[in-house]
Amino acid sequence: MNKSELIEAIAKEADLSKAAAERALSAAIDTVVKAVSKGDTVTLVGFGTFKSSKRAARTGRNPQTGKEIKIAATTVPRFTAGATFKSAVAGKKAKKK
């Protein structure tokens, strides 16, 4: 599913116009990106958690030459799926508490 297909599905499910669904999806994505880039964690209960994570500097290898190269430290986004999402993907029903 690509972004336009997701917008169509949201519009149908929420009984919105495609334009309104696109604005809502874009606003949600922009908000998550801004929060995670500032170092905040975004938790959507049942769906998952978006957060930033630091990756240490390391030594890698150029696959063409075999020569060792230094890879700089960086900050990367991480997503951890929630229990309900994991259960849905696995085809199991989520346990209710």
Give the model confidence (pLDDT) of 67-78 as tens digits. 999 999 999 999
State the average pLDDT over residues 11-32.
96
Residue 72 lies in a domain: yes
79 and 56 share a domain?
yes
90 three-state secondary structure: helix
Domain span at residue 85 reads 41-91
| pLDDT computed for residue 74 by the predictor | 96
Residue 60 has pLDDT above 90, yes or no: yes
Residue 94 has pLDDT above 70, yes or no: no
82 and 46 share a domain?
yes
Percent of the chain with pLDDT over 90: 93
Quick one: angle between helices 18-37 and 3-14, nearest 10? 120
- The domain that contains 66 carries what CATH number? 4.10.520.10
Measured in residues, the chain has a length of: 97
Residue 96 lies in a domain: no
| pLDDT computed for residue 92 by the predictor | 76
- Residue 82 token pair: 């929630």
